[in-house]
Amino acid sequence: MEAIHPATASYAPFSRFPHTTTGLVGTSFKHEHLPDIMKERNASLFFEVHAENYMGQGGPPHDVLTTIRRDHSISLHGVCMSIGGPQPLDKAHVARFKHLIERYQPALVSEHLAWSTHDTTYFNDLLPLPYTKDTLARVCDHIDELQNAIGRRILIENPATYVAFKESTMSETDFIGSFAERTGCGLLLDINNVFVSATNHGFSALSYLADFPLSRVGQIHLAGHNKEIGDDGGITLIDSHDEPVDPSVWALYETVIGRCGPLPTLIEWDSKLPTWSILKAEAEMARDVLNASLPRPAMELMHAL
């Protein structure tokens, strides 16, 4: 396939969602919640699914996702593309990813700034990258290849990290801004990841967000984390997706929405699943923040509808 230069590429926009808070909040989709979701049929929520869970040709997973897609927008979130890996992208994996996009027409498509493969082995981890010119060139090549293959803009998510590389020659925000500028991709801002990394490495989450290219953000993730105490008494936060969103993360979210206005926001909760009512309540808290960011005339219109 002939490469598409980012300056002339005609990719789909960040989001097909309306410019109101209706439909702008969502949650991770878990099969355990399907009966409650179907009972409510609340089309104002969207659901995110991990692409790799649906790369088979058929069966119960696709039956369930087809059911959800009838009433709801979905966000397709890849976890194994290995955008930052040293190897070429797996063409078979890219083809399966493209097939899912064509089949379900997700409103949002995203992947991670990470690597997760070695030879033919897929790791169940999103591993960190050194922020160097060589890594930047590789990430840009892979994003260009993926966007050309699927024919639309993809959102790349900032990582939660636990180690830093001495080889890095630029900050994470500069690195992210550089590949977004070169490739024309969008960004998925995971605010819990920002808080986790800031705590683990001892930098200011607010300063990080001040340097982040917010104009390119097409979606936000919020999630819970765990705290681990080391033998030396030091605290490490783990991006665990198994707790409610931390108050500090909510505060950062309010800051971002205050600067950017309403953006599609998803609550990630992947293990130690709560009841649907608890997970939905987290999403409604995000909706309250989005509502509060709207000008008063828009708020009055929303309540009149």
Residue 290 domain-assigned?
A: yes
Residue 252 domain-assigned?
A: yes
Cα 237 from Cα 139, distance rounded (Å) = 26
Q: Across residues 11-33, what is the average pLDDT? A: 67
Cβ neighbours around 89 below 10 Å, total: 19
Residue 16 domain-assigned?
A: no
Give the range of the structural domain holding residue 40, as residue numbers without chain letter. Answer: 25-304
Residue 94 domain-assigned?
A: yes
Residue 10 domain-assigned?
A: no
pTM, two decimals, is: 0.89
List alpha helices for the chain, DSSP H.
34-40, 60-71, 91-104, 133-150, 172-183, 191-201, 205-211, 247-260, 276-293, 296-304
Residue 3 domain-assigned?
A: no
Contact 61, 51 (CB under 8 A): no
Q: Which of 95, 73, 200, 179 is nearest to 134 (CA)?
A: 179
What are φ and ψ of residue 41, in 5° steps? 50, 50
Q: Which of 39-43, 274-278, 289-293 has the lowest mean pLDDT?
A: 39-43
Three-class SS state of 109: strand
Cα 294 from Cα 291, distance rounded (Å) = 5
Q: Tell me, what CATH number does 295's domain have?
A: 3.20.20.150
Residue 19 domain-assigned?
A: no
Residue 166 domain-assigned?
A: yes
Q: Given pLDDT bands bounded at 50, 70 and 90, which one contains residue 114?
A: very high
Q: What is the pLDDT of residues 53-91, one digit of tens each?
A: 999 888 999 999 999 999 999 999 999 999 999 899 999
Number of domains in the chain: 1
